A and B are shown apart, each in its own frame.
Chain A
C-alpha cells in the first residue's frame, strides 16, 4: 500500500536533489525525467485518502487524491517539465534545483489531506520560491526576494493562526469546506489570500516575479497563486466575499498593466487579473463556477508560462525589459513572436485557444445564477484583458516602432518549450473535452455555439479597435506606478524612521534637561563649601558655642520625651 501511495511530491523533491548533484552531462536527463515520473506517480493514485501518519497526536493525511487535486498536480508537473526544458541548458543549476523543489511543494499542497500537511508544503514553496527570486540579477532581486519572503512569512503566520484555531475549536485538521463564521476561518482565509495576491497585498507579484531570471519567472508565475486558488476551492467554495475580491483583482490587474512599461511587470499584473477570474469563480461556487475556476487555472498556467517564456526569451537575447526600449523584434525573432502571440490570444480567450473554453465557464456560471452586475463586469474585463495583455504585450515588444534590435531567436531548447506550450494552448482550445474530462464536476457546457463565438469575436475585435484608436494615450513612458507596496516600502519605513527620530530627540532633550538640573544642584552643593561658601566662612567662637549649647539642649529635651 505504501508503495502504491508514494507521495508524488517526494518524487519531484528527489528530482530536485538529483538536479543539484548529478554530473552536468546527466542533468538534462534528470530535468526532463523527474517531472514525467512525477506525472506518472500522480496518475496512479486512486481516489481517497491513501497515506496517513501520526504527527503531534493528529493523524495527518499525506496523500489524498481526487479529480480536482489531480488536475492541479498534473498541470504543475507539466509546468515543471516545460520550465525545465526552457532552462535546460541556460539556467543555473541551483536555480533549477530550487524551482523543482518549489514545484514539488505545490504538488504536495495538491494532495494534502489535512491542514498540517498543507501548511508544511505551503512553507516549503515559500522557501524555495524565494531562492528562485534570489537567482535573479543584482541588488534589485536581492531586495525584492527579501520583501517577497517577508510577505509570505506574514501570510504563513496568518495561515498558521487560522489552522491552529480550527484544530483547537473543531478538533479536526481535515481539509474540507469551512463556513466563514469564526475568527479562525477568517484568518485562515486571509492567509490563503496573501498567496492568491488578493488586495491589499496584490503588489507582491509585480514587485517580486519580474526580478527573477528569465527562467525563474516562468516557474514563479505558475505555482504560488494557483495553489492558493486550489486551497480556496477546497476550503471556501461559494464564499460570497470572494466574488468581490476577485472582481477587484481583475480590474486592479488591468489598470496597473495598462500603466506599466516593464514587459514582465505587465505580465505579472495580468497574473493578478487572471487569478481574479478564478477567485470570482470560487466565490460563485456552483459546480459550473468551480469547474470554470479549475479549468481556468489549468489553462492559465500554460499560457502565462508561454507569455513569460517569450518575454524571457526577449530578455535573454537583448538584456532589455522595458517596452520603451523594445519593438520591431518580429524581424529577427519569428518563433518567439509567433509563440508570444499564441499566448496573448489564449489569455484573451480567443476562440480556438485554451482561454476561450475555460474563462467562459465562469461567465456562464455568473449568468446561470442571474448575477447581472458580476456578468457585466466579467465581460468588460474580458475585453480589458485583450487590451492590456492580448495586444499591449506583443504590440510593444514585437511590433510598434523599430528599435533597431536584431537579436536571433533563443537556443533550441527555449524554442522547443515555447512551441510545446503554444501547441498545448491551441490543442486545448480545439479539443476542450481533453480538459473537461479532468474537471471535478460533470461538465454540461458547450463552448462552441455560434452565438458565443460571434459575441466573443465582437468583444475582442472592438477592444482591439479601442486599443489602436487610443494608441496616443498608451505610449510608453519611462515610469513606474505607485502601488500598495508603496505603503510598506516607503510610508511604513518613513513612519518607523520618524518614530525613531522622535524617540531619539526625546532622549536627547531629557538628557539635556537632566544634565542642566543636575549641574545646578551640584553647583549649589559646591557653593556651600566653596572658599566663600557659607560653610567655609570664618565664624566667631562664641557663636559656635551658642549653637552647640542649643543642639545639646535640644537632644536632652528629645531624650527626655
Chain B
C-alpha cells in the first residue's frame, strides 16, 4: 500500500467518525461537548497543544543521552584525583 492510499483510508475514517453524528444522538454533559464535531476538534487541538508544550519543555530539559553517565564518570575521576 502506498502512502497515498493509507492517507486516503485515514481521511475516510476521519470523515466517517464525524458524519456518524448525524445518525446518533449525542448526549450532553456540559453543553459545549454536544456541539457538532466537538470531540474531533477538541481531540486534535489538545494533541497539538501537548506536542507544542512538550517541544518547549524539550528546549529546556533535553540533554545528551549519556548525560548521567558522564556525570558519574566525572565524579569518579574527581574521587581518584
Interface size on B, residues (CB 8 A): 45
- Mask: chain B, 45-81; 1 = CB below 8 Å from A; 0 = not: 0111111111101100111110110011001000000
Number of A-B contacts (CB under 8 A): 141
The SS class assigned to the A binding surface is helix
The 8 Å CB contact of A451, one of B26, B42, B49, is B26
What A residues does B57 contact at CB under 8 A?
A: 255, 259, 481
Establish whether residues A375 and B40, one from each chain, have CB atoms under 8 Å apart when the complex forms. no
Establish whether residues A478 and B47, one from each chain, have CB atoms under 8 Å apart when the complex forms. no
What B residues does A258 contact at CB under 8 A?
A: 50-51, 54
The 8 Å CB contact of A462, one of B14, B58, B61, B71, is B14
Assess A489 versus B43: contact at CB under 8 Å? Given A372-B30, A481-B57: no
Q: Which of B14, B23, B37 has the most CB of A within 10 A?
A: B14
Query: Complex: how many Å from CA A525 to CA B20?
Result: 104
Q: Which of B37, B40, B43, B53 has the most CB of A within 10 A?
A: B43
B6 nearest in chain A by CB position: A468
What A residues does B37 contact at CB under 8 A?
A: 458
The 8 Å CB contact of A465, one of B10, B24, B55, B65, is B10
Establish whether residues B14 and A480, one from each chain, have CB atoms under 8 Å apart when the complex forms. no
Interface size on A, residues (CB 8 A): 48
Establish whether residues B20 and A454, one from each chain, have CB atoms under 8 Å apart when the complex forms. yes
The 8 Å CB contact of B29, one of A375, A383, A449, A477, is A375
Establish whether residues A383 and B64, one from each chain, have CB atoms under 8 Å apart when the complex forms. no
What B residues does A474 contact at CB under 8 A?
A: 51
The 8 Å CB contact of B24, one of A375, A454, A467, A481, is A454
Chain A nearest Cβ from B78, distance in angstroms: 8
The 8 Å CB contact of B48, one of A254, A449, A466, is A466
B67 nearest in chain A by CB position: A480
Establish whether residues A254 and B50, one from each chain, have CB atoms under 8 Å apart when the complex forms. yes
What B residues does A559 contact at CB under 8 A?
A: none
Chain B nearest Cβ from A532, distance in angstroms: 48
Chain B nearest Cβ from A470, distance in angstroms: 5
Establish whether residues B63 and A481, one from each chain, have CB atoms under 8 Å apart when the complex forms. yes
What B residues does A387 contact at CB under 8 A?
A: 47, 50-51
A461 at interface (Cβ–Cβ under 8 A)?
yes
What A residues does B64 contact at CB under 8 A?
A: 478-480
What B residues does A479 contact at CB under 8 A?
A: 58, 62-65
What A residues does B29 contact at CB under 8 A?
A: 367, 372, 375
What B residues does A460 contact at CB under 8 A?
A: 43
